[in-house]
């Protein structure tokens, strides 16, 4: 939380909303330490997209910043991000660079159009998307990770926000695709970086993998058609 306030430039009007998905744990200490933070309590863990939609509807700003709780804003200023939205009226979504605790750039934080053929290539180590997350320049992409994602609020709400049928994983990819189909741009912006500790949502790897595959299948059925969806399920038996 401290890292967020440290990166807000003087003169920028902002608010911080924390949506707590844990109905059994109140985070009173947070508001005591940061009186400006508004905590919204969910009655159940309804998923990543649903929680973010909950907070977004209450937000007053023109640009939303979705940020995972297992992160720290590392470098860059919010003002530089807002400048990008001012320069490009068709910019709908902007994704930050994510850094691992060992200071390396996190993989799979931005990429090209998701397809079965791209997944097959990735499994044979023909990873075309690494050129995006390795780039030091802002780059137009098909999707960015929702871990640290900025979005123009008006467009976000017009699109209905995150698809809440995705409990976790692929809701960000889905939103980016719908944004592009709406005629708006998605940008990877490495000048703003966030430290991502990662792996805090699931204590068991098997549950994490199951959730990932379930969302992946939902995405393919929604956007790629039955042929790729069924072939994806078939190929999974061969560890794809």
Output the pLDDT for position 225: 93
Report the candidate in 76, 78, 75, 74 with the shortest Cα–Cα distance to residue 64.
Answer: 78
Which regions of 45-202 does DSSP assign to beta strands (E)? 63-67, 71-75, 91-99, 110-111, 139-140, 143-144, 148-152, 185-196
Span 76-106, pLDDT tens digits:
999 999 999 999 999 999 999 999 999 999 9
For tokens 């990819």, what's the residue?
Answer: 173
Residue 17 C-alpha from the chain's centroid: 16
**Tokens representing residue 177 in the block:** 């695709």
Structural domain count, the chain: 1
211 burial type by CB count under 10 A (0-12 exposed, 13-18 middle, 19+ buried): middle
Give 57's pLDDT tier (boundaries 50, 70, 90): very high
Domain holding 46, by residue range, is: 2-238
Give 127's pLDDT tier (boundaries 50, 70, 90): confident
Q: pTM of the predicted model, to two decimals?
A: 0.91
Cα–Cα distance, 73 to 118 (Å, whole number): 31
For tokens 């980016």, what's the residue?
Answer: 176
169: domain CATH number is 3.90.550.10
Helices (H), 114-204: 116-123, 130-133, 153-158, 171-181
Output the pLDDT for position 46: 84
**Tokens representing residue 142 in the block:** 């098909």
Pick the more confident residue, 4 or 173.
Answer: 173
Output the pLDDT for position 199: 63
Give 206's pLDDT tier (boundaries 50, 70, 90): confident
Output the pLDDT for position 202: 57
Cα–Cα distance, 111 to 142 (Å, whole number): 6
Give 128's pLDDT tier (boundaries 50, 70, 90): confident
């Amino acid at each position: 939380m401290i890292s967020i306030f440290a990166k807000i430039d003087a003169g920028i009007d902002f608010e911080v909303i924390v949506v707590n998905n844990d109905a059994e744990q109140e985070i009173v200490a947070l508001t005591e330490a940061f009186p400006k933070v508004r905590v919204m309590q969910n009655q159940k863990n309804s998923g990543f997209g649903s929680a973010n939609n909950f907070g977004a509807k209450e937000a007053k700003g023109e640009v939303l910043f979705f940020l995972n709780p297992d992160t720290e804003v590392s470098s860059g200023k919010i003002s530089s991000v807002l400048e990008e939205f001012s320069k490009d009226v068709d910019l709908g979504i902007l994704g930050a660079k994510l850094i691992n605790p060992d200071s390396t750039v996190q993989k799979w934080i931005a990429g090209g159009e998701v397809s079965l053929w791209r997944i097959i290539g990735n499994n044979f180590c023909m990873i075309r998307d690494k050129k995006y997350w390795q780039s030091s320049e802002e780059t137009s992409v098909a999707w960015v990770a929702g871990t640290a994602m900025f979005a123009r609020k008006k467009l976000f709400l017009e699109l209905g926000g995150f698809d809440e049928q995705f409990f976790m994983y692929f809701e960000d990819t889905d939103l980016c695709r719908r944004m592009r189909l709406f005629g708006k741009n998605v940008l990877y912006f490495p000048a703003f970086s966030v430290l991502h500790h990662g792996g805090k949502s699931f204590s068991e790897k098997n549950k994490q993998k199951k959730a990932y595959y379930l969302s992946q299948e939902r995405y393919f059925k929604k956007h790629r058609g039955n042929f790729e969806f069924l072939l994806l399920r078939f190929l999974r038996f061969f560890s794809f």
